[in-house]
């Protein structure tokens, strides 16, 4: 029991890494509402240099400059969507961690549904056939049993 | 017969996906297709480097087919590219503009240009990545061909050299000049 706890603790301490904050204290806006919006926007924007991190998580300099830009535009009175549009117009959909639903991304969004439908169709056909065989099958089988 | 083939269909699909994904692995994920191609240069206005008379803004990019180069004194690849840019300017091939990106301090850029030579007609100081973000840049060096109307026509990621200039960039410049 004690050993189990100890092992759990050791493993947990290896896996659990304290969150590090990329956002520099001097970037943070005094207005907490604006800062909250900035954090929310930053979480949805991809860091172009590190690619699998948001600019909110990234320590890259370009990510830092983008965070500052996001805050400056918010202070200047841009809406959240306005800020995102501004950056998207320069870096493309790629900068959005959540890809938008539109013509070119239809396969991405609808593909899984399509495959699921194909699967359901396949399973349905399979079981229907199975049922038909069962209805016809046992009758033939019993006759065989009798003859043996 | 057709029923037999139906069982092969998943394998066939798997095969096609395998080929597709294997090809996908060959792609360089840092090469992001630019959305700015065929778009006007976004608005930007950069201050002059220390000791220079003029900065550089999007309004300077009108009337001539030109090259915009993002560089920095910290960037080794830029150092490798630099002699070729010098040659472009020396041979008056086309106007070359520079965005000096993210220097440590205000003297690093000017010092570097003094040492290596300055091929740029105008250079903008870009400590806060405003110019770089305007062009959707992810690293240096990156270069853009801008046409007479100030529209971005081509993005080149990495070093420009004799080979890729001749093969890719120069033909684009020549075509744009005829328009």
Contacts of A56 (CB under 8 A, 6+ apart): A22, A23, A39, A42, A43, A45, A67
**ipTM more than 0.85?**
no
Q: Tens digit of pLDDT for each residue in B68-102? A: 999 999 999 999 999 999 999 999 999 999 999 99
Q: Could you give all domains of chain B from N- to C-terminal order, each with its CATH number?
A: 32-178 (3.40.30.10)
Gap from A143 CA to chain B (nearest CA, Å): 29
Look at B128 and A65 and tell me if their CB atoms are within 8 Å.
yes
Compute the mean pLDDT over every residue in chain B, rounded to the nearest whole number.
92
C-beta of residue B132 within 8 angstroms of C-beta of residue B101: yes
Residue pLDDT, tens place only, B126-165: 999 999 999 999 889 999 999 999 999 999 999 999 999 9
What phi and psi, each to the nearest 5 degrees, are found at residue B44? -155, 155
The answer to whether the CB atoms of A89 and B42 lie below 8 A apart is yes
User: CATH classification of A2-100, choosing from 3.40.1710.10, 3.30.1330.100, 1.10.8.640, 3.30.70.360?
Assistant: 1.10.8.640
- B42 CB neighbours in chain A (<8 A) are 89-90
Which structure tokens are listed for B157? Answer: 């990621």
Q: Is the pLDDT of residue B20 over 70?
A: yes
Sort out which chain A residues have CB atoms less than 8 A from B27's CB and list them.
none
Rg (CA), chain A: 28
The count of C-alpha atoms lying within 13 angstroms of the C-alpha of B102, restricted to the half-sphere facing its C-beta, is: 18
What residue has token string 């320069």? A90
Show residues of chain A in contact with B132, CB under 8 Å: 62, 65
CA angle at residue B147 from B144 to B149, to 5 degrees? 130
Kindly determine whether residue B136 and residue A66, on different chains, have CB atoms separated by under 8 Å: no
Contact list, B31 vs chain A (CB under 8 Å): none
* Chain A contacts to B (CB-CB under 8 A): 48-49, 51, 61-62, 65-66, 68-69, 87-94
- A91/B129 touch (CB, cutoff 8 Å), yes or no: no
Sorted by where each begins, the domain ranges of chain A are: 2-100, 105-147
Q: Distance, in angstroms, between A102 CA and closest chain B CA?
A: 16
Partners of B33 on chain A (C-beta within 8 Å) are 92, 94
Tens of pLDDT, residue by residue over A101-133, are 887 788 888 989 999 999 999 999 999 998 888
- B60 vs A22, residue with greater confidence: B60
Between chains, do A87 and B133 touch, taking CB under 8 Å as contact?
Answer: yes
């Amino acid at each position: 029991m004690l050993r189990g706890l100890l092992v759990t603790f050791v493993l947990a301490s290896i896996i659990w890494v304290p969150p590090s904050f990329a956002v520099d204290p001097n970037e943070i806006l005094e207005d907490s509402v604006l800062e909250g919006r900035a954090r929310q926007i930053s979480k949805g924007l991809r860091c172009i240099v590190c690619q699998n991190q948001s600019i909110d998580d990234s320590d890259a300099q370009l990510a830092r400059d983008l965070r500052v830009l996001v805050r400056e535009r918010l202070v200047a009175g841009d809406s959240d969507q306005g800020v995102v549009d501004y950056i998207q117009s320069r870096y493309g959909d790629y900068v959005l961690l959540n890809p938008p639903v539109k013509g070119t991304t239809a396969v991405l969004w609808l593909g899984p549904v399509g495959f699921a439908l194909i699967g359901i169709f396949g399973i349905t056909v399979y079981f229907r056939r199975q049922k038909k065989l069962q209805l016809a099958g046992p009758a033939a089988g019993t006759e065989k049993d009798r003859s043996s | 017969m057709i029923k037999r083939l139906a069982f092969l269909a998943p394998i066939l699909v798997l095969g096609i996906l395998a080929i597709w994904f294997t090809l996908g692995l060959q792609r360089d994920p840092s090469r992001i297709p630019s959305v700015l191609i065929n778009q006007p240069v976004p608005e930007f206005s950069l201050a002059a480097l220390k000791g220079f008379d003029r900065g550089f803004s999007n309004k300077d990019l009108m009337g001539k087919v030109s090259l915009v180069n993002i560089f920095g004194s910290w960037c080794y690849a830029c150092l490798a590219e630099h002699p070729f840019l010098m040659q472009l300017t020396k041979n008056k091939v086309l106007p070359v503009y520079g965005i000096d990106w993210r220097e440590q301090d205000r003297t690093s850029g000017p010092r570097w240009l003094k040492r290596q030579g300055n091929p740029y007609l105008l250079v903008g100081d870009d400590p806060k990545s405003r110019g770089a973000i305007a062009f959707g840049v992810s690293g240096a060096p990156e270069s853009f061909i801008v046409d007479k109307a100030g529209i971005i026509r081509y993005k080149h990621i990495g070093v420009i050299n004799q080979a890729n200039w001749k093969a890719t960039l120069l033909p684009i410049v020549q075509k744009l000049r005829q328009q």
